[in-house]
Structure 1
Amino acid sequence: MRILVNGLLPLDSGKTTFSLSIIRLFNQVGIRLFPFKPIAGHNAWYSFNTLIRSEELGILVGNDALKYYDETKYDIRRINPFAVLFVPIDLEKLSYNVSLYNMIMEYGFPYLIRLSDCINGIDQYFVNSSADIYVPKSMLKFTRNLALKFNAKSYDKMREIIDASPQLVDNCTIDVFRNYENVIIESYNDSASPTYNSADVDYVFTVSPTKAFLIKGEEFKKALSLFSIPAWNVRVSTLIKYLKIGKSFEIDVGERVAKDEILDILLKS
């Protein structure tokens, strides 16, 4: 069984928490789901613990992938083949240009990228060659250690790598499908699907605060076919009006977890 979880909102839809609860539900009946989050970004300022864990584990990894790893102990490279570490920038270094500061902060300033080959286990690291120009010294003293540890290559087109990430890691999607019968995929932000092949699923859950909506995979792919742009550029908020919602599920405040009812429906349908 393949399940895709995407989010109605760009942030804080609750995709990871919901996906983890689905994994635990399936574990109760002896079915192990492989968690696949092909593309993930995290911010060093808000998630400093990820820097410590990345150093301990010997691989750049963010919050969500860590949660999946801690829950399942599957290979992090396969769980998350593409990771981006974002950092805050220094307003003073921008000569107090607040408009430019806000624009950069809105899109995120990528400091370090990991691109993993899921098949041979080789990692490529890229570090932003403009970091010294924009990033505060207090942040650089920590992030620079990671870049050195991972032998990151200095690069000046980080955004191009990020934009190409859905194509760069889709071979990992194929590899995961080949090696694991039961997979749960988490998309990023509010993208309909993180890669092309990630849309080839049996079920889709669109998650929002308080509710999750179940869509059959065929219905999902049919709706995606109406768009001429790649699935990762299709916003869930745009797609949802073309989707046939099979069922909606309440998510309780404070719990934010999938309930047994979901398991019953998935296993019986």
Structure 2
Amino acid sequence: MKVLVIGLLEENSGKTIFASSIINALISQGYDSVGFKPLGATELWSHPEALIESKKNKMVVTSDSIMLHKFSREKEPINIINPFGGLLIPVLPEKLRNLNSFSNALYMPNMRLGISRLTLCPSNSLYNTHLINVNAIERSSKSVEYELLDLVSVIENIVKVDDEYILNLISGGALRDIDKCLNYLENRHEIVVIESNSNIASPTPLSTNADVVVIVTPGEAMVVDGNRYKKAIELLNLNGKPWVIKTQEVFQLTNYLFSIELPILEDQFSGYNNDTLNYIIEYIKNIIKQ
């Protein structure tokens, strides 16, 4: 079974803590549940802990994958839970032609993904490839470059790439390999909770077949019927690329079955309690019984 968590906002919808809380609630009630973040990227400047954890794991890991891995009780390697992860590095205005180029770089993740990891999930073993974006590093500061070089010294399978290569991967080029990891988890666990990136309605082709979809925005989580969601994706998917469809587009076609209110969390790492999530958990359990 797949539960897909998607965000209504481009950033800070609260997907990660919500998905982690759902996993935790399901496990506490005896279900075998695990998280999955197909594509993830962490702002290195605001989350330096991702660099520390990357060095510790000897591979690139993101802040979202760290949380999902923890709430999944570390039942699977972190690089299966997040097959493509990268660190977004700050770019300097002086390293670009003008302020327009600087503004464009801020909104083009391929221009700021200094180092990324793509994990292949064959049946017998995992294989990490680390991608160093030389273009992105050239736009950043020397101190950031030194930090990345320090990370590079402890990781393996390094390939130097450019902006275009990264753009191809995050625009669909890596999705077939990423879905192999999702298929692997589906075959091993009762419930896979998938967290999309940004406000993307369907992060990978296989994610489209979710049994339950939850749209998250600050203060509220809305449950959408999986079949209705899939039909909406099919209607909107004119170019064969469901991963470019935004949550807002799908929401206009599906509406939602019911919603729950999400309180402000004093401690993000504690997650939402079972009482808050009760209606959604019961809905998931009823779908399982059908």
Q: TM-score under structure 1 normalisation?
A: 0.94
- Shift of the 132–244 alpha-carbon distance from structure 1 to 2, 3 Å rule, reads closer
- In the alignment, is residue 153 of structure 1 matched against residue 127 of structure 2? no
* Alignment counterpart, residue 117 of structure 1, candidates 115, 120, 134: 120
How far apart are 1:110 and its partner, in Å?
A: 1.4
Aligned to 1:23: 23
- Shift of the 26–107 alpha-carbon distance from structure 1 to 2, 3 Å rule, reads same
Rounded to whole Å, the distance in 1 between the matches of 2:255 and 2:246 is 16
Rounded to whole Å, the distance in 1 between the matches of 2:136 and 2:178 is 25
RMSD: 1.7
Q: Aligned to 1:149, what secondary structure does the other structure show?
A: coil
- In the alignment, is residue 232 of structure 1 matched against residue 236 of structure 2? no
Letter in 2 for 1:154: K
Aligned to 2:39: 39
Rounded to whole Å, the distance in 1 between the matches of 2:170 and 2:282 is 38
Residues 86-131 of structure 1: per-residue CA shift (max 9 Å, x gap): 1111222236x22111110122311111110122211011101224
Rounded to whole Å, the distance in 1 between the matches of 2:19 and 2:214 is 9
Q: Aligned to 1:88, what secondary structure does the other structure show?
A: coil
Rounded to whole Å, the distance in 1 between the matches of 2:63 and 2:50 is 6
Is the contact made by 1:166 and 1:232 (CA closer than 8 Å) also made in structure 2?
A: no
Q: TM-score under structure 2 normalisation?
A: 0.87
Q: Aligned to 2:10, what secondary structure does the other structure show?
A: coil
Rounded to whole Å, the distance in 2 between the matches of 1:199 and 1:15 is 17
Unaligned 5+ runs, structure 2: none
Rounded to whole Å, the distance in 1 between the matches of 2:19 and 2:61 is 18
How far apart are 1:188 and its partner, in Å?
A: 0.5
Rounded to whole Å, the distance in 2 between the matches of 1:260 and 1:131 is 44
- In the alignment, is residue 179 of structure 1 matched against residue 184 of structure 2? no
Regions of 4+ moved over 4 Å? none
Unaligned 5+ runs, structure 1: none
Is the contact made by 1:77 and 1:118 (CA closer than 8 Å) also made in structure 2?
A: no
Rounded to whole Å, the distance in 2 between the matches of 1:181 and 1:159 is 34
- Shift of the 131–11 alpha-carbon distance from structure 1 to 2, 3 Å rule, reads closer
Which segment is superposed worse, 145-154 or 14-23? 145-154
- Over the matched positions of the two proteins, sequence identity in percent amounts to 27
Rounded to whole Å, the distance in 1 between the matches of 2:137 and 2:49 is 22
Length, aligned pairs only: 268
Aligned to 2:259: 248
How far apart are 1:132 and its partner, in Å?
A: 4.8
Aligned pairs for 1:45-56 within 5 A: 45-56=45-56
Aligned pairs for 1:4-23 within 5 A: 4-23=4-23
Rounded to whole Å, the distance in 1 between the matches of 2:262 and 2:186 is 29
- Shift of the 132–219 alpha-carbon distance from structure 1 to 2, 3 Å rule, reads closer
Is the contact made by 1:39 and 1:165 (CA closer than 8 Å) also made in structure 2?
A: no
Rounded to whole Å, the distance in 2 between the matches of 1:169 and 1:24 is 24
Is the contact made by 2:229 and 2:250 (CA closer than 8 Å) also made in structure 1?
A: no
